[in-house]
Structure 1
Amino acid sequence: MIGTLNRLVDLVERDTAGDLDVAAWARSLGTTEHHLRRMFSSLAGMPLSEYVRRRRMTLAAADVVRGERDLLGIAVDHGYGSTEAFARAFRAVHGAGPSEVRRNGGPLRAQPRLSFQLTVRGADPMDVRVVDRPAFRLVGHAARVPLVHEGANPRIAEHVAAIPAAEHQRLKALSGTEPKGLLSVSDDLDPDRAEGTELTHLHGVAVEAGASVPGDLDVLEVPAGTWAVFRSSGPHPAALQETWAATATEWFPSNPWRLRPGPEVVAVLERADDFSTATCELWLPVEPA
């Protein structure tokens, strides 16, 4: 995976003006767009689309400062059809327009070229199992919420708190297959996992594919497939979020699996009364790499 990401960086450097055809890039690198975007954003700390934007504007800034060509020519070279559109994108990255930078030499906010390197990790073994599951259904109460990378997600907390206690018990009684118990489901995530982008959060349970469910519940149909199931234990949600991050930085780079599209599911196995600590299972849909 490290080599694949470095080849992707090479492609970004060679194509400074074209459309971001990540699907074609992924195919040429022998992987999938879904997995490539997730691994890039997890390891780089920024979405792939943001890195491309910053990197292209860094290279464009060098052309602007050199002053050898007019701004329209530079704009066209970097994929913009007008100086106005180029100036807006330039200002969004550097905080100043190209004309100002040409006069004053700055300010500039350069994005260095990324280089991914293998770091020896794994002193603490990860608790994971890989399971094949037939098709099943996720049923419960769904809401659109923003993605939060660290700490509690207030919108999810509000959504779950608004569900009556009796409804939690009704959902528990419906649970009929793995993942067991009440579940926190993330679906329809932004491909780049950008902070603040919206996803569908479902608070509910898993039932067999053919099970009938009350008509007032939201339903996600989950096809048959393979899942990597990671266990985390400790302060909540910090321990779970650390495990989520470690799947990208440690497990996927060293195992012959990649992410496939599908919901990402958290099952809470045990928790303190105040939810300060918890033991959870993180279910991620995977396929052979």
Structure 2
Amino acid sequence: MLHELNHVIDYIEDHLTNDLPLESISAYAGVSDYHFRKIFFYIAGIKLSEYIRNRRLSEANKELLNGEKVTDVAFKYGYDSLDGFTKAFKKWSGFLPSDVIKTGVSKYFPKLSFVINVKGGLSMDVRIEEKPAFNFVGVTKRVPMQFEGVNNEIVKLVESITDAQMEEMHSLQNIEPYEVVNVSYDADANFLKEEGDLTHLVGVLTTSNQLSDQLEKLSVAACTWAIFPNEGPFPSTLQDTMARTYSEWFPTSNYEVIEAPSFSFTKMDEHKADYAYSEVWIPVRKR
């Protein structure tokens, strides 16, 4: 996958002045659009669309320094109007295109290159399981997107669960893992930015469709799951594992992410403060 990513970067470089639909990039990489965008974000730390925009503006900056006209540069790099280019350039760089010509001020955004970064002493345990179709059932809430630390809105959601809701969840639970799980889905920006909201469900897995109106249901089709167990300080170990699955495991595996909800569960250690065993379940298919 890293080899493919570097080929894709070269492909993007060759097409910076052309129309470049994001779907065509993932097609060139030979993987699904959803998988490619998610892997790219976790490895590069930037959305694919944002990377392309930044590279175009960086090259535009270079051409302005070489004396090209603002209008010519704007249209060359895909902007329909001079005003649109000027606004985008100023938002990216902090100065106007005309400032580049007048004063020689510049900003540079380099072409990416991906390499395997092997971290000594760190390994990832993973197992692959097939699972029939099932439902998540539980309580839900729209919460702010947050990649690090404790999400206080999720804490409030957990604290709001009534005894009656918990009793019904446990009565419906009939498929492994027999744990209370956390599911995040329906995110603004499709999880690719730490902003906006997502829907978070706290609940259980079941094959039953018979539930009261005090619980919500999210159906999941039969698929393959990559499961990543982890143990350590909570929540940092869990969050680090989730990030490493995308930045380290997927790029070197024969699997790709499919567009379905991933989930996790956590079992807090009774004898160690803020210490837990967790599992991250991600829906996948072979590439």
Deviation at 1:43, TM superposition (A): 0.9
Deviation at 1:83, TM superposition (A): 0.9
Normalised TM-score (structure 1):
0.91
Superimposed CA distance per residue, residues 40-79 of structure 1 (whole angstroms, 9 cap, x where no aligned partner):
11111112122112111101111122223x2111111111
Q: For 2:241, what is the secondary structure of its paired residue? A: helix
CA distance in 1, matches of 2:130, 2:120: 25
After alignment, is 119-128 or 86-95 more displaced? 119-128
Cα pair 2:186 2:199 within 8 Å, conserved: yes
Normalised TM-score (structure 2):
0.92
Distance 1:15 1:192, change over 3 A: farther
RMSD of equivalent CA atoms: 2.1
Match of 1:30 in 2: 30
Distance 1:19 1:263, change over 3 A: farther
Superimposed CA distance per residue, residues 85-130 of structure 1 (whole angstroms, 9 cap, x where no aligned partner):
0011001110111112221111x33211100012334743322211
Deviation at 1:248, TM superposition (A): 2.0
Q: For 2:34, what is the secondary structure of its paired residue? A: helix
2:283 is the counterpart of 1:256? no
Cα pair 1:235 1:277 within 8 Å, conserved: yes
Identity of aligned residues (%): 35
Distance 1:184 1:242, change over 3 A: same
Q: For 1:242, what is the secondary structure of its paired residue? A: helix
After alignment, is 235-244 or 123-132 more displaced? 123-132
Deviation at 1:192, TM superposition (A): 5.9
CA distance in 1, matches of 2:37, 2:248: 16
Counterpart of 1:112, as a letter, is P
Counterpart of 2:66, as a letter, is R
Deviation at 1:166, TM superposition (A): 5.1
After alignment, is 161-170 or 251-260 more displaced? 161-170
Match of 2:21 in 1: 21
Distance 1:78 1:203, change over 3 A: same
Superimposed CA distance per residue, residues 230-277 of structure 1 (whole angstroms, 9 cap, x where no aligned partner):
111111110001111221232222321111111010112344499712
Match of 2:136 in 1: 138
CA distance in 1, matches of 2:146, 2:273: 18
CA distance in 2, matches of 1:179, 1:23: 35
Distance 1:273 1:123, change over 3 A: closer
Match of 2:153 in 1: 155
Deviation at 1:284, TM superposition (A): 0.2
After alignment, is 244-253 or 161-170 more displaced? 161-170
Write out aligned runs for 1:57-76 (5 A): 57-68=57-68, 70-76=69-75
Cα pair 2:8 2:28 within 8 Å, conserved: no
After alignment, is 86-95 or 175-184 more displaced? 175-184
Q: Which ranges in structure 2 are unaligned for 5 or more consecutive residues?
A: none
Distance 1:138 1:192, change over 3 A: closer
Deviation at 1:205, TM superposition (A): 1.1
CA distance in 2, matches of 1:230, 1:136: 20
Distance 1:24 1:179, change over 3 A: farther
Match of 2:52 in 1: 52
Deviation at 1:4, TM superposition (A): 1.3
Distance 1:122 1:285, change over 3 A: farther
Cα pair 1:34 1:191 within 8 Å, conserved: no
2:223 is the counterpart of 1:225? yes
Distance 1:64 1:174, change over 3 A: same
Counterpart of 2:88, as a letter, is A
Write out aligned runs for 1:169-208 (5 A): 169-189=167-187, 190-191=189-190, 193-208=192-207
Match of 2:99 in 1: 100
After alignment, is 229-238 or 252-261 more displaced? 252-261
After alignment, is 273-282 or 221-230 more displaced? 273-282
CA distance in 2, matches of 1:254, 1:54: 27
Counterpart of 2:79, as a letter, is Y
Q: For 1:178, what is the secondary structure of its paired residue? A: coil
Counterpart of 1:244, as a letter, is M
After alignment, is 25-34 or 258-267 more displaced? 25-34
CA distance in 2, matches of 1:53, 1:15: 12
Match of 2:2 in 1: 2
Match of 2:82 in 1: 83
CA distance in 1, matches of 2:31, 2:210: 37
Q: For 1:126, what is the secondary structure of its paired residue? A: coil
